[in-house]
Amino acid sequence: MSAAKSAWPRTVWSISTRVALASLAACVVLAALNSVGLSAVRVMALEDTVEPKDHNLPLVKQKEALPDYELIVVLRSGGQVKLGAKPDTSAADGLAWTLTEPVAIGDIASIRLEEQDTLVSDAVAEVQFSTEPVTDKGYEFSFTTTRSFGVGVQAFFRTPVGLAIVGALFVAIVLVLVSAFAT
């Protein structure tokens, strides 16, 4: 009778410990798989592309007439990472934006190029992330990625699988503690 009593917490302890270790291992593996983050974007207007202008008046304010491109990373969550505007600069020679913090590739819905205006900025081109350069509406986008475990861990906690694993880990740890005190 007493043997059966003490065996019960030990079984719970053993199963819970295994669940906890498996959850941790799954977290590490999934984080490693999602660890590729976008770190820089380069946009170039192709040869025949007619770039937007702020005005078409001859002679006056020619510099200001040049486009004010800004780049936005649209996230699957609906959020946006704005990479800032480059006022009065043509993209004919290419423009580069660097992300201060890499964004996990899996979190990115699209990358959007806009021409900034005081009232409403116009979308100029929009592409999905690709390892190869991609072209849309006369603009070529090329992407630089970096591997970072931090990116993977952040991405992990945003996935339903990640949250389920964290839940399992939490329950397992509680059971380990409960069974440890029960003995």
Tell me which residue has its CB nearest to Ca ion.
Answer: 68
Nearer to Ca ion, 121 or 159 (CB): 121
Residues 6+ apart with CB under 8 A from 166: 23, 27, 157
CB of 87 to Ca ion, least distance (A): 6
Between CA 132 and CA 165 the distance in angstroms is 33
Nearer to Ca ion, 107 or 114 (CB): 114
CB of 53 to Ca ion, least distance (A): 8
Q: Rounded to the nearest 10 degrees, how much is the dihedral formed by the CA atoms of 59, 63, 68, 69?
A: 110
Between CA 83 and CA 57 the distance in angstroms is 30
Nearer to Ca ion, 85 or 168 (CB): 85
Nearer to Ca ion, 61 or 147 (CB): 61
* Sites of contact with Ca ion (CB under 5 A): 54, 68, 88, 117
Burial 12-27 (b: 16+ CB within 10 A, else e): bbeebeebbeebeebb
CB of 146 to Ca ion, least distance (A): 31
CB of 121 to Ca ion, least distance (A): 8
CB of 48 to Ca ion, least distance (A): 21
Nearer to Ca ion, 3 or 120 (CB): 120
Q: Rounded to the nearest 10 degrees, how much is the dihedral formed by the CA atoms of 41, 46, 50, 52?
A: 10
